[in-house]
Structure 1
Amino acid sequence: MCINAEKPRFLLVPTPFGGISDCPKSYLPLGLLSVATVLHNAGIETEIVDINALASDFTFSNVAEDIMARQPDIIGFSTVGAYYHLTIDMARRCKELIPKTTIIFGGPQATLTDEATVTAFPFVDVVVRGEAERSIIPLYEAISGKRDLMEVPGVTFFSHGQVIRTPDVPLIEDLDLLPDPSYELFPSINNLEIIYVEDGRGCPYRCSFCCTNVFWHKKFRTRSVERVVHLLKKLAFQYGNNKRFVFIQDTPFLSEKRIIQLCEAIKRENLDIRWRCYSRIDHLDETIVHKMADAGCDNIFFGIESGSQRMQKIIGKKLDLSNTINTTRLAFKQGPSYTVSFITGFPDETVEDLESTINLAMALKYDCGKCRDIQLHRLAPLPGSRIYEEYQDKLLLDYSFWGPWNSNCMSDKQLEMIKKYPRIFSSFYYCPTKHYSRKFWLQIHFLIGNLLRMDYAGFILHKDKRLEFPACVSKYHSLVVLPHDYEKKYGRYESLVQVARFFKKVLKQIDLQDHYLCDVMDYELAVTKVRESTDEKPFMVENFEYDVEQIIHSVEINEFHRLPKVVNRKHHTLLFTKNQEKLVTVEIPEALASMFTR
């Protein structure tokens, strides 16, 4: 592994990043940027390669050649679970192109699977575990032949037929000792709308589904308010106030005193910036949220994970849900919006628990004010988590739900690799549930995941008690038809059609087939189809039995607080189209409708 170059060239590669867009999307890899800064400050030639800007699709098939064209001596790959197969394939290809290159893995996934990774994939020369800022220079010196690799703390490697793990590197207790990240080292920095700022590291909680406290050795540390505000001021000057800043930290705002100090410092420095952060709902109240909004906060993300108090105890989240709605309503009635995360598919979750989660998700979406998004995730058994430790021998391959990016780019060879090493790729597996079948869960997740993208239909189902929601979803789940490759099409027209058909069948079962919900769903489907269309002048014609636009307007004018008091019947036909990307609806005579039928 020793390199002969006089000054070895160090390339750093962020993890592939997808989402639901049609191609990879650049993001700021903050951990990698911190390591790059340490290397750069030591006079080591260092470059971050933005593979997400280089890749033409989710296979990242062209990226290894682009990386190796830079003639690196050392490549450091950042890793996370959902994209580990892509990182491994990239590293393998890089090694094949120039075998003398040293391949280093770091980040959460490699740290938590270090021994298995270096054993299964011999082209990975070293795994750097945990925080890399203190070990990266000694590692560079070892690779350069200036010291023994055994002297480098916090690394794992395979040597002479056995895995070697050197002692953990001590955590950096005072994060202010770290240099400010050199953001200019990231090549796409000027093209980003969002700039991440590290506020702290670690989490003091021990949720059963999370591996954060293992990665950070159960320690929680923050940077000083003065240091954070100094960095914000510098970034606002360098890149402009039009950037949005996001504080990165698993649970940054645990201290009310610190939140207030940070907000006051931002105001005192006259920083006219927009920012977002993560928190727990039980650490927020009306006074704190209003101070945050006054200092420029426009969105707060908090994970509730389950709407069942029983499950809160089982998974170790331990939120008191009795005050969640009232707290959220009071805290967010003015000021920033909020984003909420839920997880379903826990081994001990019952149908009743699942329905409680759906109810709370809907209440937070419609009853509390400024909800920006509700996220509904599947449980992924992450290595190092308590759930993984308990169920690692019972994991089942999750063929049906890897998300749109993994489904789009998974090759047969990668699938075989994932099958061969379930403990390395546990994110692609699921834990069996004790109280309902996997098919039931897939149907429920499909219905609710898509319903959350049908604002008006979801609101009516949530508010009109005659519709027996969400119990009706559990009771009649077998009526849903899952589209082909549905996991790639969440929120798309094809999926929403199946959701609408399902609820129309349910309405018939409960003898409410004439409910105006049918028209509202058809209206939302028409809007979605026209908006998704790539035609120059898309259009769609739909017949209605109710004054559907009056219903929509009534819901909007009441800010989704209550159902329309009056619902008028009105048999009519609407033409949906776009004019300069703006949706337009026009009522047309029924006799003309056939002219627009394709």
Structure 2
Amino acid sequence: MNSNPYKILLVNPPHTAIGSRIPKEQLPPLGLLSVGGPLLDAGFNVELLDAEFGPLPLAAITGQIKAVQPDLLLMGHSGSTSAHETIMQIAALAKAALPAIQIIYGGVFPTYHWQDVLDGNPQIDYIVRGEGERTTVLLVQALLAKTDLETVKGIAFRKAGKTVATPPAEMLKDLDAFRVGWELIDHSRYSYWGHRRAVVVQFSRGCPYLCSYCGQRGFWTQWRHRDPVKFAKELARLHREQGVQLINFADELPTGSKKAWRTFLEALIAEDVNLTLVGSTRAGDIVRDADILHLYKKAGVIRFLLGIEGYDAETLQTIKKGTTITEDKEAIRLLRQHGIISMATYVIGFEEETDRNYWRSLQFLLAYDPDQIQLVYVTPHRWTPYFPTVANRKVIQTDTRKWDYKHQVLATTQVPAWRVFLWAKTIELVMQARPKAILRLFFGYDAEFRHAMRWYTRMGRRVWLHEIKAFLCRIKPLADGPTLEEFWGTSLHKQEQALAKGHKKVAAQTNISL
């Protein structure tokens, strides 16, 4: 029995990204569940409304909020920038329906845009900046006790008509100290990878590399990982008790420490559970782990997404990618040798490109020979070091709901938007329909490999056709839009580090584990 009178409703807003609509499958909102667990443990009455199912229209979401009658409404989304406008609409409707409700907003976008959000959106009462597990509980407890909010680190709010922010909260040193509120969801509703019961998890947070365009690195401030054995036991429990089959890692770099990652793999193998693992990592870590890739496969790893990003060495150096073409190719070869699918993420638009650049991109991708490919468009977030380097480029897409990496947002002066789009779709078609890719659909390493290749090919085909239809019928790039700085405002890259690192000894211990 919860002892606290506050009724809290977590709302996962419907997302507009194409990819979230096509598979007809749904993954749990890890961020909200990570906040929900500590709130439950603090004695609060907590419920989750996942409006991605459907997806629910705004009127239906408002109706369900009104039916619950919460004291506090908490919202956030992993697709932070592209979900922002939808969250603002839900908040406004909720306030109109329940004027006494208080609304808390968290995530990457509001962490940095807190002043703009509070100044322009009276429906938002409080913003949690940075990691939310501890800060949200402290904020809710302060609201309940009516204590001075300025004593709570890591929040922003209005005081005497002015927008104020407290000092950054300290980074969570022990990621196992706050549990995920898995009981807030019905696991049978969530699936991925061809209707396999699925969850999203984090083994680690952050990344020690300095990629200038990354919108996540500074949010987590420093790379840390969970206890490998405890983490393996949690995944095994989810499999045994909830029937979970697919584990989707949300980490930027789960393999950041070879020692910790190997310990996790060995612990999961010892649990003897039939799990499929998918995630993202760096090519360099795959090359580093050549001697333990058999453990990856035995533990259930079937696909890793590798951020290839580009072929031009000068561009890779400019964006501080910290990798080489040779390393990228070797990582793909090693993964294939062990029956693990390689998905190459390739970014269009870092520099002012020409038709020749796109032709060269296709040639290099064919030479890389990844099993799958994901083409995305550069999306300059205001808090990244990349933002000021392109502040004078023109914006061709001012609907921020489309700032999801799958829509062009910056103009390329030498190639019109329609031809950039044509190049992207042509590259995707050539890569996924080339003879090598087709052969792997039917004669891949093993049954699990072939299932993964076929599932992604089916989804990719549907997304490809959907994007073409949307571009022809609905997407209208601006002919002469504002500059990036005019659209978003001045750069916030000096505020990139969202959290205080805390005690130096902890930071030193974390660095040793890299």
Give the structure-1-normalised TM-score.
Answer: 0.67
| Structure 1 pair 290–351 and aligned structure 2 pair: CA distance change class (3 A) | farther
Secondary structure in structure 2 of the residue aligned to 1:175: coil
CA displacement, residues 297-316 of structure 1 (integer Å, 9 cap, x when unaligned): 11111111112222111111
CA distance in 1, matches of 2:153, 2:406: 28
Aligned residue number for residue 155 of structure 1 = 155
Q: What does 1:374-413 correspond to in 2, within 5 Å?
A: 374-392=373-391, 394-398=393-397
Q: Which amino acid aligns with 2:102?
A: T
1:202-233, Cα deviation, whole Å (9 max, x unpaired): 1111212112122122x110012112112112
Q: Which residue of 2 aligns with 1:96?
A: 96
CA distance in 1, matches of 2:181, 2:65: 21
Query: In the aligned structure 2, how far is the partner of 1:133 from the partner of 1:47?
Result: 16
Q: Which residue of 1 aligns with 2:142?
A: 142
Instruction: Report the alpha carbon displacement of residue 14 of structure 1 after superposing the two structures with TM.
Output: 1.9
**Equivalent-residue separation in structure 2 for 1:257 and 1:428 (angstroms):** 38
Residue of structure 1 in register with 2:247 after alignment: 245
Comparing 22-31 with 194-203, greater Cα deviation is found at: 22-31
Contact 2:209 2:322 in 1 (8 A): no
> Per-residue deviation at 1:438?
3.9
Match in the other structure for 1:11: 9
Q: Amino acid of the residue matched to residue 314 of structure 2? A: R
Structure 2: runs of 5+ lacking an equivalent: 192-196, 440-460, 473-514
Q: Find the residue that maps to 1:374 and give its secondary structure.
A: strand
How does 1:163-202 map onto structure 2 within 5 Å? 163-178=163-178, 180-188=179-187, 190-192=189-191, 193-202=197-206
Aligned-partner SS, 2:180: coil
- Taking a change above 3 Å as real, the CA distance of residues 315 and 96 of structure 1, as seen in their structure-2 partners, is same
Matches within 5 A, 1:508-527: none
2:396–2:411 CA contact under 8 A, matched in 1: no
Structure-2 separation of matches of 1:326 and 1:201: 26
Report the Cα distance in structure 2 between the residues aligned to 1:325 and 1:397, rounded to whole angstroms.
Answer: 34
Equivalent-residue separation in structure 2 for 1:333 and 1:387 (angstroms) = 36
Q: Cα 1:158–1:216, aligned 2, differ >3 Å: closer, same or farther?
A: same
CA-to-aligned-CA distance 1:372-403 (integer Å, 9 cap, x gap): x210001111231122233345441326x98x
Describe how 1:56-95 pairs up with structure 2 within 5 A. 56=56, 60-79=58-77, 80-95=80-95
- 1:448 maps to 2:427: yes
Percent identical: 23
Match of 1:220 among 223, 236, 239: 223
1:202–1:212 Cα contact (<8 Å) kept: yes
SS where residue 302 of structure 1 aligns?
strand
Residue 116 (structure 1) aligned with residue 89 (structure 2): no
Deviation of the 1:197 alpha carbon: 2.0
Distance 1:293 1:8, change over 3 A: same
Output aligned runs, 1:316-465, within 5 Å.
316-349=320-353, 351-364=355-368, 367=369, 371=371, 373-392=372-391, 394-398=393-397, 430-433=409-412, 436-456=415-435
CA distance change for structure 1 residues 146 and 490 in 2, over 3 Å: closer, same or farther? Answer: closer
Distance 1:389 1:69, change over 3 A: farther
Give the Cα separation in 2 of the matches to 1:163 and 1:23: 41
Give the TM-score normalised by the residue count of structure 2: 0.77
Cα separation, partners in 2 of 1:393 and 1:330, compared to 1, 3 Å: closer
Q: Aligned to 1:134, what secondary structure does the other structure show?
A: helix
Give the SS at the match of 1:157: strand
User: Residues 187 and 273 of structure 1: is their aligned pair in 2 closer, same or farther, counting only changes over 3 Å?
Assistant: closer
Counterpart residue identity of residue 492, structure 1: L
Q: Secondary structure at the match of 2:254?
A: coil
Whole-angstrom CA distance in 2 between matches of 1:114 and 1:490: 33
> Per the alignment, in what secondary structure is the counterpart of residue 376 of structure 1?
strand
CA-CA distance at 1:428 after TM superposition:
7.8
Confirm or deny that 1:277 pairs with 2:279.
yes
- What code does the residue aligned with 2:421 have? L
1:277–1:343 distance in 2 versus 1, CA, 3 Å? same
1:73 counterpart letter in structure 2: D
Is 1:208 the counterpart of 2:200? The answer is: no
Instruction: Work out whether residues 262 and 292 of structure 2, in 8 Å CA contact, stay in contact via their aligned partners in 1.
Output: yes
In the TM superposition, 1:303-314 aligns within 5 A as: 303-314=307-318
Quick one: structure 1 residues 458 and 35, their matched pair in 2 at CA, closer, same or farther if it must change by over 3 Å? closer
8 Å contact from structure 1 (residues 381, 427) kept in 2:
no
| Distance in 2 separating the partners of 1:433 and 1:387 | 16
Structure 1 residue 287: Cα displacement: 2.7
The answer to whether the 8 Å contact 1:289/1:332 transfers is no
Note if contact 1:344-1:376 (Cα within 8 Å) is conserved in structure 2. Answer: yes
| CA 1:13–1:495: 2 relative to 1, 3 Å | closer
SS of alignment partner, residue 83 of structure 1: helix
Deviations 1:129-171 (A, max 9, x none): 0011121122112322431122221111123332100111100
The structure whose Rg is larger is 1
Deviation at 1:272, TM superposition (A): 2.7
Kindly provide the CA deviation profile for residues 538-596 of structure 1, in whole angstroms up to 9, marking residues without a partner as x.
Answer: xxxxxxxxxxxxxxxxxxxxxxxxxxxxxxxxxxxxxxxxxxxxxxxxxxxxxxxxxxx
2:154·2:165 contact (CA, 8 Å) conserved in 1?
yes
CA drift at 1:252: 1.1
Q: Is 2:377–2:406's contact at 8 Å kept on the other side of the alignment?
A: no
Secondary structure of 2:305's counterpart equals: strand
Q: Any idea what the Cα deviations from partners look like across 1:324-366, whole Å, max 9, x if unmatched?
A: 32442233223221222111011354555433332232334xx
SS in 1 for 2:73: strand
Q: CA deviation at 1:261?
A: 1.8
The CA distance in 2 between the partners of 1:305 and 1:319, in whole Å, is 10
Q: Distance in 2 between matches of 1:316 and 1:439?
A: 29
- Candidates 227, 230, 233, aligned match of 1:230: 233
1:38 aligned residue: 38
User: What is the CA RMSD across the aligned residues, in angstroms?
Assistant: 3.2
Q: Does the 8 A contact of 1:183 with 1:189 survive in 2?
A: no
Contact kept, 8 Å, 1:199 with 1:247, in 2: the verdict is yes
Residue 244 (structure 1) shift: 0.7
The answer to whether the 8 A contact 1:266-1:295 is kept is yes
Alpha-carbon deviations, 1:94-128, whole Å to 9, x = none?
11111111011001111121111111111100110
Give secondary structure in 2 for the equivalent of 1:254: coil
Pair 1:87–1:187, CA change in 2 (3 A): farther
